[in-house]
Structure 1
């Protein structure tokens, strides 16, 4: 994140900003990176796993890998599994499945 705090508790500040953005960005029309990141986090916390195709279709997040990387930078433990998944036309794709690990909350 740009202009991230440099104090010793900067991780806590980042997490608070992340949590606040979740409550302010419930709409799928908010395309800011903070809103997309909050949607991905909220989904993972409630469903544990999210694929690339689900993120694009359900959450309106076109580049979920970037949002997951940002969440990892905020201290969340998210692993990536690779799997085959069908798109809406039935075509198979190799996609990432992101899994929030137990105790993986920052």
Structure 2
């Protein structure tokens, strides 16, 4: 990958939000959840499809804070429109490990 400039990075709006709802997503090609995330008063609640079923039980996700890109255009996935991209790490083990703040912060806080 090539280098990007600080100006390029500033275009990516990465925010912290709290998971308020998780549903199974059987229509997705790969196992996934339909997640609703509260990003605070400025952005409100956004939906995301996340392929994180290998590691996370849907009930354990409720109330967790996650990090997501919120300024991608919406993406249609089967019968669901994903409005943000939840960020995670893919390692040598199966599954995606969610990026989370080290301590609780206000919903909508921007990652810099």
Q: By percentage of residues, which structure has more helix? A: 1
The reply to whether TM is greater than 0.5 is no
Bin the TM-score by the shorter chain.
Answer: under 0.3
Q: Give the structure, 1 or 2, with the largest relative contact order (CA under 8 Å, sep 6 or more).
A: 2
Q: By percentage of residues, which structure has more strand? A: 2
With structure 1 as the length reference, what TM-score do the two structures score? 0.25
